[in-house]
Amino acid sequence: MKPDSSTAAVHVPRPSACPGLWRVVPAKDGGICRVKLPGGLLSSVQAHAVVAAARNHANGVLELTNRSNLQIRGVREESQGALVQQLLDAGLGPRHADADDVRNVLISPAAGRDQAAHLDTRPLAEQLLALLQDVPAFRDLSPKFAVQLDGGEALAMLDHPHDICLSALPGGTQLAFGLAGCPRGDALGVVAVDQAVQLVEALLRLFLELAGEHTRMRQLLAELPAQVFLARLSFDFQSVTPGFTSQASDTAPLGVHAQAQPDRVMLLAGAPLGRLQAEQLQALADLADAEGSGELRFTPWQGVLLPDVPAARQAAVAQAMSDLGLLLEARAPLARMLACSGSAGCAKAAADTKADALRLATHLGPHGPAQVHLCGCPRSCAAAHIARYTLLAQPGGRYDLYRREQGLAGFGHLLATSLDIDQAGEHLAAGNSE
């Protein structure tokens, strides 16, 4: 079934604070339009359409989200209809206009390419996306409700909790599943791969039946233990619980990676502070055409993966990406930094977190601390997990510094208060925080 583009710009989305394709949310620098990418995939042709839309109808700034989606920032109010139409024409819309919000199936950006994978998750992800969009009842799910499908890839985000998680087991014929957790976390049962769509449908129907006011699985399970929830599920599964050994990592796996396909490599790069200019995306699309297979895949580390590059070309392509301003070295200070929109884009921000992050990076060398997250306010939009260090802006543009600590809620242990950004940099660089 082809995406439905006939409804164009006239669709009125349901109210929510989250941006969507039709729900262009106002910000200080203009509207924000979120473009959901199935599996994070953007073809070079679609990338050119996004570039044109961002230049013609917005301010040319693109934001990469931690769910591997794209946001176009600075959308002009009078241009919203034309922008949406341009994106629909490029095949970037949902199957039904009112199903935009539910397109939340997350897979590894290396799906179908990763040597360590037990399963190519792309066909099943497509079926799950169709299920979410085609069942009218599922359009009541929160725009944040998400299904994570993990094929066992080495390039996988393992520390973002999602509402339903499925992880392939060795052999690739079975999936362990969990609720309100991380892939390869605590599994609650096992199903055959060809039963996964029916399982997810049964889980979603039961969630909607029991959720009441709750919008996320973790809220429901705080009241109703998972085993009680599953006892009401009209679906048979094996209640064995396999263990997983993979550990989540604080750093993005930047650089060149071998592919399952002989003589091909994939390059994973970070976008500094999660943003690209339209010109950078255009150049990346040209690079994907010239050196890869015309595919770009956006990553949950707010970066981009370029697959299918001939191994003999890896150095040249890495250099080209680096020349574009992308990060290929995990040691680069900016590769270990997250920052929300900050006061330049968000009225809630107490500091200009993006500018401060650039300044902070000048204090930190290659052996500086693992991940630092600069938050303009406690909503913590830029990260779905708690980073190793959080700098939380305070009125007046100073920061409180926290270190994540097992068992401590919120951002963790409060290490220092009311630091200016240079003091924060000196504190982190001196290792006072370890």
Residues lying near ligand SF4 in the complex (CB under 6 A): 340-341, 346, 348-349, 375-377, 379-381
How far, in Å, CA of 401 to CA of 390, rounded? 6
Residue nearest to ligand SF4 (CB): 376
With a CB cutoff of 8 Å and minimum separation 6, the contacts of 397 are 343, 350, 351, 352, 356, 420
How far, in Å, CA of 385 to CA of 181, rounded? 11
Helix (H) or strand (E) holding 134: helix 122-134
Q: For ligand SF4, which is the closer residue by CB, 5 or 394? A: 394
CA 208 to chain centre: 24
CB of 348 to ligand SF4, least distance (A): 4
CB of 380 to ligand SF4, least distance (A): 6
Q: Which amino acid is at 74?
A: G
Q: For ligand SF4, which is the closer residue by CB, 125 or 349? A: 349
With a CB cutoff of 8 Å and minimum separation 6, the contacts of 147 are 104, 105, 106, 128, 132, 162, 163, 164, 165, 166, 200
CB of 393 to ligand SF4, least distance (A): 7
Q: For ligand SF4, which is the closer residue by CB, 373 or 403? A: 373
Give 411's Cβ-side CA count (13 Å radius). Answer: 23
**Contact predicate 275/47, CB 8 Å:** no
Sign of the four-CA dihedral 160, 178, 141, 124: positive
CB of 32 to ligand SF4, least distance (A): 10
Q: For ligand SF4, which is the closer residue by CB, 285 or 346? A: 346
CB of 40 to ligand SF4, least distance (A): 22
Helices (H), 166-244: 196-210, 217-223, 226-231
Maximum distance among all Cα pairs of the chain, rounded to whole angstroms: 58
Sign of the four-CA dihedral 149, 160, 294, 89: positive
DSSP of 23-60, one letter per residue?
A: --EEETTEEEEEE--GGGEEEHHHHHHHHHHHHHHS-S
CB of 72 to ligand SF4, least distance (A): 16
CB of 405 to ligand SF4, least distance (A): 21
Q: For ligand SF4, which is the closer residue by CB, 20 or 189? A: 20
Q: For ligand SF4, which is the closer residue by CB, 70 or 99? A: 70
Q: For ligand SF4, which is the closer residue by CB, 48 or 348? A: 348
Three state DSSP letters for 96-123: CHHHCCCCCEECCCCCCCCCCCCCCCHH
Q: For ligand SF4, which is the closer residue by CB, 23 or 118? A: 23
CB of 83 to ligand SF4, least distance (A): 21
**Contact predicate 420/400, CB 8 Å:** no
CB of 15 to ligand SF4, least distance (A): 17
Q: Which amino acid is at 179?
A: L
With a CB cutoff of 8 Å and minimum separation 6, the contacts of 7 are 97
- Looking up tokens 């094996």 gives 238
Q: For ligand SF4, which is the closer residue by CB, 349 or 421? A: 349
